[in-house]
Every structure is written in structure tokens, then in C-alpha cells.
Structure 1
Amino acid sequence: MSSEDNRPSTTASWRPHTDWRRFAVAAVAALALASGTVWTTTAAAIPVSFAVAGGTFQVSADHVAGTGAAQYAASVTDAAGKSHPVAVAAIGRARLTRLCQSSVAHTPFGDVTLTIRSGAEHPVEAEDLVIDLDRLDGDLTFGRVQLGRDASTLTAVDGAVGTAGAYGQQARTLVIDRMRLRAWSITAGTFSLRGAAMAISAGERPCF
């Protein structure tokens, strides 16, 4: 990625002597941490929670196929101690086609966007995937679904349970077409991307 590719059309919001390459490297590291996406090689039932960043990020996929799915309400807390209500979506095993994740950071130099895209020929493979959702849009199909089950008794995904007495639902299978979601965090036991591409660009350039 060359500096010319990311040079804005005007210099009003950019310092003339900024080393864009150094800034890009630092921003990639910061945004990757802030985005909440986790790649690990050690499987875990439900990964340990952490303080979320101060805003949501976007994730899209053309097609998602999951085995074992559970949903219930919860909350996450940011580093400032503020709680945010979320809909937890847990999937035991998932395949995601044409995944895109984007997060925007507001910096002294202007807005920058980190985008991660999976390879077109290789679906993303994930195990013990947990998404703290703010909003989800798409076409959803559940197989062997149970709606209204007590959230503390969910069994579809090991460790994915909510508060006793709260609403929960689970399904044997889950398919989502044209998924568009905003999330506070994503964690996984394993999250494998082949042929993926990561890029940082000036301005707001989200997945959707």
C-alpha cells in the first residue's frame, strides 16, 4: 500500500509533515485491538470477556452457515465503565462466505478505517463464535428451533447461557444470507481466514 493511494484530495485535515506509513502501522495495531475481532488457536467454550471499545464496528457476509446456535440478552462494559445492552449470538461451528469487517477510528489526523476481508475462494471457519450484537439484518433460517426457552438452560453451544428467567432461543442449525451486523465485540475459540486482506484507508469506508 503506497502513500499515494491513501493521500486525501485536500490537506486541510492532515499535517504536511505526517509520516503516513508510520501512522498507518500504528493505526492498524490500534484498530485491530479496538475492533474486537479475535483470532486464536486454542479452542475455548466461551472466551473470557473484556472491556469493549467505545463504539460498534461492522461485519458483513454473503452467507453464514452454523451448527448449534443460541441467542439471549446480556450487556457489555467499556473501559469507561459504561454498560451497553447486547443480543448475544453464539454459534458452535460457523462458515462465513465473503466476510468483511470494518472499524472507524477518529484521530487527530482525521477519520481512518481498518477493513479486513476474507478470500473470495475460502470461507472463514470459526468455532465457539460469540457475537455481542447491536443490530443484525439479513435472511435467517433456523433448523430445529426452540423459542422462549429459559436463557439459563440453553444447551446448543457449550457455555452460552444467559440469566435465569430471561428469554432465550436456540437452534440445531442457523443460516443467514446477506448478513449485515453492528457489534460491540466478537470472540471465538478459533477464527481462520485464508487469503484474507487487511487495509487501512483515510476517511470512513465501512463494509456497508
Structure 2
Amino acid sequence: MESVARGGTRWKRFAVVMVPSVAATAAIGVALSQGALAASFSVSGQQFKVTADRLDGTGFVQYGAIDSGKSGDHPVAVVGFDDAEITNLCQSVVVPVPVFGDVSMTLKAGAPGGERVKANKLYIDADDLQTNATFNNIDIGTSVDSTTKGPGPSKGDKYLPDSFSQQAESATFTDVKQRAWATTAGTFKLSGLGMKVQKGKHECY
């Protein structure tokens, strides 16, 4: 729901709040698209949504963990890949701005027919995932501390030692929809990156 401005929207204040963050995001996005930076980002106290037409990954691992933020602790299923290629990636986050209302930021990359998004040592901390999945040479019920086919637990993750996990030599996800608290990667190359900031809620799904 949008907040009602008293006496009109304070456009100058909104510009002061939004412009630096948008400019910084754009600069980071350009560097990521050129493969110049290692990506490591999360939305503190907020979830974001991600969709993709297809994800092909090698070295797969999945386990349970806890993400901590200003809004408390959140149980998540961590999905990790040694390497992944993604088609038609969309990421969206809605930021509530005082007085002005909701502002949505959407990032898109790897459009069909173009170069795919490529990631190395990719970890996704999600609490909701909907997809069609195919696994090759999968092991279910492996100790998280004994996985060998994927990147293993992410450094700094909060998880129960020797707890349940699954791993596979490779995995393919299609029609992916997920709600996540954090995504990290060693490198994240976003080809054809586009960013849009809009008033209101404009999510990937």
C-alpha cells in the first residue's frame, strides 16, 4: 500500500535518498556485467524475487542454514553451484520509501538468444523455490560437511554441523521462481544487463 503524502511529495528529499543508491547500483551492475567484480550482496531485512527461464549448473549442493538480519533470523535452503549459466534472469526488490511509497528496482540480464548469465561459486539463500529440476548422479542425505560434488558450505553460513544435505554432479532448473534473502558468487557476469527503477510494486513475479 502506498503512503499518502502530507502537503505533497518531497521530491528533493526523494532524490537525495534514491539517486546515490541508484547510481551506485548502476556502477556495480556495469562492473559485474564486465566480470570485473566478485559479487556478494544481500538485502538486509528484505526479501527479493528471482526468476529465470533456465539454469544449468555443475557441482550442485543444497543444505539448510540460518540467515540473520535486522528483521531477525530466517531459515533458508542454500543452493550452491560450482558453475552456473542462466537464461533470462530477472531480479526484483521493492523498497518502501517514507512518504513517497514503494519503489521497485528490477535487474534483467541474459535475454533469450543472447549470451547467458554466468556465475562461479554461486550460492542462493531462498525460503521459497518453484521449478522443474533434473539432477545427474545425485546423493540425497549426505552430511553437509562431507559433500564432494559441489562447492560445499559457504564460508560464514550458520548451519548445524553434520546435518542433512544433497549433492549432484550437475543440475538443470527450468521455469525458476524463487524468493531469496541473499545471493553470493565468486564471479557473476551479467550479459545485456538492464536496470529499471519504478514507483509502485513491479516484481519479477
TM-score (norm 2): 0.81
Which one-letter code corresponds to 2:55 in the other structure? Answer: V
| Pair 1:22–1:119, CA change in 2 (3 A) | farther
Shift of 1:21: 5.4
Which one-letter code corresponds to 2:46 in the other structure? Answer: G
Which one-letter code corresponds to 2:48 in the other structure? Answer: F
The alignment status of 1:189 with 2:182, answered yes or no, reads: no
TM-score (norm 1): 0.80
Cα distance between partner residues in 2 of 1:200 and 1:140: 32
Partner of 2:80: 90
Q: Which runs of 5+ in 1 are unaligned?
A: 1-9, 33-37
Aligned residues: 188
Shift of 1:23: 4.9
Contact 2:79–2:123 at 8 Å: present in 1 too? yes
Percentage of pairs with the same residue:
36
Partner of 1:169: 166
Partner of 1:129: 122
Cα distance between partner residues in 1 of 2:86 and 2:62: 18
Which one-letter code corresponds to 1:181 in the other structure? Answer: Q
Contact 2:147–2:167 at 8 Å: present in 1 too? yes
Cα distance between partner residues in 2 of 1:123 and 1:166: 34
Q: Which runs of 5+ in 2 are unaligned?
A: 26-30
From 49, 73, 77, give the equivalent of 1:58. Answer: 49
Cα distance between partner residues in 2 of 1:163 and 1:11: 42
Specify the SS of the correspondent of 2:11.
Answer: coil
Specify the SS of the correspondent of 1:165.
Answer: coil
The C-alpha deviation readout for 1:146-177, integer Å capped at 9, x for no partner, is 00111111122234275333111000011000
Partner of 2:28: none
Cα distance between partner residues in 2 of 1:79 and 1:91: 27
List 4+ stretches of structure 1 deviating above 6 A: none
Matches within 5 A, 1:91-110: 91-108=81-98, 109-110=100-101
Contact 1:41–1:189 at 8 Å: present in 2 too? no
Cα distance between partner residues in 1 of 2:51 and 2:81: 16
Specify the SS of the correspondent of 1:191.
Answer: strand
Cα distance between partner residues in 2 of 1:63 and 1:127: 16
Partner of 1:25: 19
Cα distance between partner residues in 1 of 2:80 and 2:21: 29
Specify the SS of the correspondent of 2:202.
Answer: coil
The C-alpha deviation readout for 1:67-119, integer Å capped at 9, x for no partner, is 01000001011036x21111010011000100000000011110000000004
Contact 1:90–1:129 at 8 Å: present in 2 too? yes
Contact 2:133–2:174 at 8 Å: present in 1 too? yes
Which one-letter code corresponds to 1:116 in the other structure? Answer: L
Partner of 2:105: 114
Partner of 1:178: 175
Shift of 1:195: 1.3
Matches within 5 A, 1:134-173: 134-160=127-153, 163-173=160-170
Which one-letter code corresponds to 1:126 in the other structure? Answer: A
Partner of 2:60: 69
